[in-house]
A and B are shown apart, each in its own frame.
Chain A
Amino acid sequence: SQTIHQWPATLVQPVGSPLSLECTVEGTSNPNLYWYRQAAGRGLQLLFYSVGIGQISSEVPQNLSASRPQDRQFILSSKKLLLSDSGFYLCAWSVSDRGSGYTFGSGTRLTVV
């Protein structure tokens, strides 16, 4: 069966420090991968999505970047965190099928102090 792993669960980082959040999927090949952020009262914001290795689409300009070095690995990074980067980050995967929906990871709570 397919599973998705996201870590760490919580993270407290100082302003200006780097960030690396990792997401891996097991049990499937060539998944579509997504990074979302939830800030308080702002719903789900799609940050990046990827349909293949090295293929990254950015939805909004921001202080973050994403990479997909392997088929089932998706990494969210920042060189210098801002206070506004605080939030709940979710990774998700899907197949290229309209009816499949997404499977989400358990999320990372990031607090920038």
Chain B
Amino acid sequence: AQSVTQLGSHVSVSEGALVLLRCNYSSSVPPYLFWYVQYPNQGLQLLLKYTTGATLVKGINGFEAEFKKSETSFHLTKPSAHMSDAAEYFCAVSNLGGTSYGKLTFGQGTILTVHP
């Protein structure tokens, strides 16, 4: 079964600083990986996803993530944080087959705080 671990339930950065949110996965087959963002009292929005092909994936709002098979990681980065990036971020892996095909397993989430 697939699983996802997000290291750090809270991350705090200064405006303009690098954002790094960590995600490690466990999967017996090549994973499909996702990052979602959730603003307060809203649903989750897809930031980016990795399925196949290029391992560096660019998403919305200047975020990107790199799939590293050797490290079983899919960390989310943004070169320069903006106040509007303050939100909760979820990493997810897609399940393989049977009735769970396409079902996502989510990490516990990381709350990003951006200080002026």
Contact = CB atoms under 8 A, between A and B. Distances in A.
Interface of A: 6, 32, 43-44, 49, 51, 57, 88, 90, 92, 94-107, 109
Residue picked from A51, A94, A95, A99, most chain B C-beta under 10 Å: A99
A102 B104 contact: yes
Contact of A99 (B41, B49, B92): B49
Which size class do B's interface residues fall under? 20 to 34
B55 interface: no
B44 A104 contact: yes
B51 interface: yes
A101 B108 CA distance: 17
B32 to A, nearest CB: 5
B109 A94 contact: no
A49 B103 CA distance: 9
Contacts of B108: 43
Interface stretch (B14-22, B60-68, B77-85, B93-101): B93-101
A87 B36 CA distance: 19
